[in-house]
């Protein structure tokens, strides 16, 4: 079972191969390959870094350099759902600190942590480009705008 | 303002928008609204040189923030040889306070694609990448669908509409980091490297993606191209109220009654934007300061509200037009805390390449935090002012650090007393309070 977890599956391999035809150089697929692997597993383990680097024929350190630079690639386990609250300037003025506190209180975790039941990870994110509807949070792939503190418990129940 | 009737001649960027349901304009609707007719006209009547000259004549300036003339940028591409060349669309919108490209990407994907195909023809590229921010999920889905629609209609691929022009667009999504929006950092990121900016020269037009000639244009810039091809450069020059040509997506956010983004001619006043479009400040809130075009632009005050919204006029009053999406700061906001928030952002997003930026920004955050906590020293204001110079233009490879200094230097200039008040609070009792707070934290 553990062996499977540390290998790329057929679908992932197919998707990565698919990407190769769009670029002059395999290195360009690094980010996309990491995202493909992360999309089903939540995060990218050391073993998977090795696996991906083999497929792309680049060194592990080159891939690690990418994986640790970009903020949306996770090199540590994360919860099943990822809550990103926008902490940039407009959301800040419109009360993102209160939203952060409310989330921390409900989930009983601090920024960067995962709940005990592994359901949620809380992370900050830079401006989500929805400033006319601030404050904004993003849960997984969905963006929620004009957030009020009172909405938060109801919103979290959906997940 | 919803009651404004939009005509193709007055609102070239947004007249096709579905203002009621806010649905994306897919290919059938786009065809009905004159879509891809600029591409057809160009393929039948123009050479690449003609397109470049037309865009040069139109005096279109880049909409990403720097305002470089698009036609001139295109003409810097070397003469056609057998080496491949690339068009890159910069859709990595992440400037805090900016939300204009999102609208164009999500709701008018075909307008962008048409603009890209025409631009690709002009610079004689056969391949283009849209570098899209990873967090823009709906934009990603809509662009994917639009690219397939365009391919099925023969607007993309081999021998477009029977001509000998071949062009392919690939959608590339990122994985975070603000710096990817800097054009050379974007190229590095696309090559699968850390998004560190490159030293210029050589400019991307000569040595760009994979060392090949490359042109990087912003989403809004490219979306302007089809209308210029259809209506000509004279029309384009006439629709603006100032020296900067054409229309621009401008907006206002913050505690205003109607925050949003609108297509307006260059040269309307900031007051008009704030009062007529954004419907003024919310009841009980006064305007304290505003940033004209994103987090990396100097603060202005109410005194500057009658300034024309264009590149030259805004720089004359001491700021930068930037992305043109303004942000209102109301009287309840403490300027020190606000600048601390901005500098935390810039500090977090520094790529770490240049020492002044990598070391200076966290230092600034630390100092500003001490202001907010009430134990800043008198000389700290001077240190901040000194850092504004040390991190200013010319000290780093890219404009990240200088951009970060603009809100800081202007905040100290305009609201020095608020910084000084933080120092005056610095008394024995205050230090005692902080110590207690820290002890409390430890006990927890």
CATH number at residue B384: 1.20.1440.230
- Give the count of alpha carbons within 13 A of A159, CB side only: 20
Distance from CA of A95 to the nearest CA of B (A): 11
Flag whether pLDDT at A2 surpasses 60. Answer: no
3-state secondary structure B321-337: CCCCEEEEEECCCCHHH
A147 — pLDDT class (breaks 50, 70, 90): very high
Flag whether pLDDT at A1 surpasses 50. Answer: no
B52 — pLDDT class (breaks 50, 70, 90): very high
Nearest residue in chain B measured CA to CA from A129:
B99
Residue A157: per-residue pLDDT: 95
Out of B223, B238, B253, pick the residue that ends a domain.
B238
Flag whether pLDDT at B349 surpasses 50. Answer: yes
CB B311 within 8 A of CB B61: yes
B434 domain-assigned: no
Q: Is A91 a known ligand-binding residue?
A: yes
Close Cβ partners of B131 (under 8 Å, ≥ 6 residues apart): B88, B89, B90, B91, B92, B172, B174, B180, B186, B189, B190
Give yes or no: residues B260 and B129 share one domain. no
The chain-wide mean pLDDT, for chain B, equals 94
Give yes or no: residues B259 and B376 share one domain. no
Give yes or no: residues B146 and B180 share one domain. yes
Flag whether pLDDT at B232 surpasses 60. Answer: yes
Average pLDDT estimate for A108-118: 97
Out of B205, B238, B271, pick the residue that ends a domain.
B238
| CB nearest A131 (choices: B99, B194, B338) | B99
Give yes or no: residues B274 and B381 share one domain. no
Q: Is A101 a known ligand-binding residue?
A: no
B81 — pLDDT class (breaks 50, 70, 90): confident
Is the CB of residue B342 less than 8 Å away from at least one CB of chain A?
A: yes
Tokens of A69: 């630079």
Residue B3: per-residue pLDDT: 65
Flag whether pLDDT at A135 surpasses 70. Answer: yes
Give yes or no: residues B295 and B408 share one domain. no
pLDDT in tens, A74-109: 999 999 999 999 999 999 999 999 999 999 999 999
Residue B5: per-residue pLDDT: 86
| CB nearest A93 (choices: B192, B333, B351) | B333
Average pLDDT estimate for B401-417: 97
Give yes or no: residues B88 and B174 share one domain. yes
The per-residue b/e assignment along A94-127, b for 16 or more CB within 10 angstroms, e otherwise, is: bbbeebbebbeeebebeeebbbeeeebbbbbbbb
B20 domain-assigned: no
* Candidate from B54-63, B275-284, B353-362, B416-425 with smallest mean pLDDT: B416-425
Distance from CA of A72 to the nearest CA of B (A): 5
Domains of chain A: 10-69 (1.10.10), 81-157 (3.40.30.10)
Flag whether pLDDT at B1 surpasses 80. Answer: no
Flag whether pLDDT at B246 surpasses 80. Answer: yes
| CB nearest B175 (choices: A35, A84, A92) | A35
* Candidate from A13-22, B145-154, B205-214, B415-424 with smallest mean pLDDT: B415-424
Is the CB of residue B431 less than 8 Å away from at least one CB of chain A?
A: no
Residue B427: per-residue pLDDT: 55
Percent of chain B with pLDDT strictly greater than 90: 92
Give yes or no: residues B126 and B210 share one domain. yes
Residues of A in contact with B344 (CB under 8 A): 87
How many angstroms separate the CA atoms of A33 and B91, rounded?
20
Average pLDDT estimate for B348-366: 97
Out of B185, B204, B238, pick the residue that ends a domain.
B238
Answer whether B190 sits within 8 Å of A28, measured CB to CB.
yes
Residue B375: per-residue pLDDT: 87
Report the CATH number that the domain containing residue B83 is assigned in CATH. 3.40.50.11540
Residue B17: per-residue pLDDT: 96
| CB nearest B342 (choices: A22, A58, A89) | A89
DSSP string for residues in A4-32: HHTS--HHHHHHHHHHHTT-SSGGGGHHH
Residue B438: per-residue pLDDT: 60
Answer whether A92 sits within 8 Å of B178, measured CB to CB.
no
Q: How would you classify the pairing of strands B168-173 and A142-144?
A: unpaired
How many angstroms separate the CA atoms of A83 and B132, rounded?
21
For residue B266, whether the previous peptide bond is cis, meaning omega lies within 30 degrees of 0, is no
B443 domain-assigned: no
B432 — pLDDT class (breaks 50, 70, 90): low
Query: Is residue B287 within a helix (H) or strand (E), and if so which, with residue range?
Result: strand B287-291
Average pLDDT estimate for B238-247: 95
pLDDT in tens, B190-203: 999 999 999 999 99
Flag whether pLDDT at A49 surpasses 90. Answer: yes
Residue B304's domain comprises 240-330
Average pLDDT estimate for B120-126: 97
Flag whether pLDDT at B429 surpasses 80. Answer: no
Give yes or no: residues B311 and B340 share one domain. no
Nearest residue in chain A measured CA to CA from B99:
A129
Give yes or no: residues B387 and B271 share one domain. no
How many angstroms separate the CA atoms of B441 and B444, rounded?
5
Give yes or no: residues B209 and B300 share one domain. no
How many angstroms separate the CA atoms of B59 and B41, rounded?
21
pLDDT in tens, B93-117: 999 999 999 999 999 999 999 999 9
Nearest residue in chain B measured CA to CA from A72:
B175
Residue B436: per-residue pLDDT: 57
Flag whether pLDDT at B388 surpasses 50. Answer: yes
CA-based angle A90:B185:A67, to the nearest 5?
85
């Amino acid at each position: 079972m553990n062996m499977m977890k540390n290998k790329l599956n057929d679908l992932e391999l197919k998707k990565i191969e698919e990407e190769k035809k769009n670029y002059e150089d395999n290195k360009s697929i690094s980010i996309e390959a990491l995202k493909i692997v992360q999309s089903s597993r939540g995060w990218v383990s050391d073993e998977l870094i090795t696996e991906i680097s083999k497929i792309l024929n680049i060194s592990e350190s080159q891939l690690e350099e990418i994986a640790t630079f970009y903020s949306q690639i996770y090199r540590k386990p994360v919860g099943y759902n990822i809550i990103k609250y926008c902490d940039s300037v407009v959301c800040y003025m419109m009360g993102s600190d209160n939203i952060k506190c409310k989330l921390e209180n409900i989930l009983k975790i601090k920024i960067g942590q995962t709940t005990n039941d592994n359901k949620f990870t809380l992370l900050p994110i830079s401006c989500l480009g929805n400033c006319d509807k601030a404050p904004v949070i993003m849960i997984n792939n969905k963006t929620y705008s004009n957030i009020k503190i009172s909405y938060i418990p109801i919103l979290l129940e959906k997940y | 303002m919803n009651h404004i009737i939009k005509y193709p001649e007055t609102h070239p960027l947004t007249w096709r928008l579905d203002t009621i349901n806010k649905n994306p304009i897919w290919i059938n609707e786009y065809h009905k609204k004159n879509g891809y007719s600029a591409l057809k006209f160009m393929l039948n009547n123009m050479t690449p040189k003609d397109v470049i000259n037309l865009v040069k004549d139109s005096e279109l300036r880049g909409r990403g923030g720097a305002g470089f003339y698009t036609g001139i940028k295109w003409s810097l591409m070397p003469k056609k040889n057998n080496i491949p060349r690339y068009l890159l669309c910069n859709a990595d919108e992440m400037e805090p306070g900016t939300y204009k490209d999102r609208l164009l990407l999500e709701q008018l994907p075909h307008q962008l694609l048409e603009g890209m195909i025409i631009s690709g023809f002009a610079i004689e590229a056969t391949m283009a990448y849209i570098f899209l921010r990873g967090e823009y999920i709906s934009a990603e889905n809509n662009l994917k669908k639009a690219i397939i629609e365009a391919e099925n209609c023969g607007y993309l691929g081999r021998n477009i509409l029977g001509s000998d022009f071949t062009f392919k667009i690939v959608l590339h999504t990122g994985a975070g980091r603000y710096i990817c929006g800097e054009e050379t950092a974007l190229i590095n990121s696309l090559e699968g490297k850390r998004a560190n900016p490159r030293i210029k020269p050589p400019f991307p037009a000569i040595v760009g993606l994979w060392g090949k000639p490359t042109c990087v244009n912003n989403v809004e810039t490219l979306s302007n191209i089809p209308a210029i091809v259809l209506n000509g450069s004279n029309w384009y020059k006439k629709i603006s109220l100032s020296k900067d040509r054409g229309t621009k997506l401008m907006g206002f956010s913050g505690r205003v009654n109607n925050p949003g983004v609108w297509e307006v001619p260059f040269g309307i006043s900031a007051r008009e934007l704030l009062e007529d479009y954004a419907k003024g400040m919310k009841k009980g809130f006064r305007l304290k300061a505003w940033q004209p075009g994103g987090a990396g632009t100097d603060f202005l005050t109410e005194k500057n509200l009658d300034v024309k919204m264009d590149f030259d006029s805004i720089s004359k009053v001491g700021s930068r037009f930037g992305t043109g999406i303004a942000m209102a700061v109301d009287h309840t906001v403490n300027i020190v805390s606000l600048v601390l928030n901005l500098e935390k952002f810039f500090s977090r997003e520094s790529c770490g390449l240049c020492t002044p930026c990598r070391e200076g920004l966290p230092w600034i955050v630390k100092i500003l935090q001490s202001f907010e906590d009430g134990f800043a020293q008198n000389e700290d204001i001077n240190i901040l002012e000194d850092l504004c110079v040390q991190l200013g233009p010319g000290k780093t490879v890219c404009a990240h650090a200088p951009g970060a200094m603009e809100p800081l230097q202007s905040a100290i200039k305009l609201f020095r007393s608020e910084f000084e008040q933080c120092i005056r609070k610095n008394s024995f009792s205050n230090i005692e309070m902080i110590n207690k707070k820290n002890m409390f934290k430890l006990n927890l």
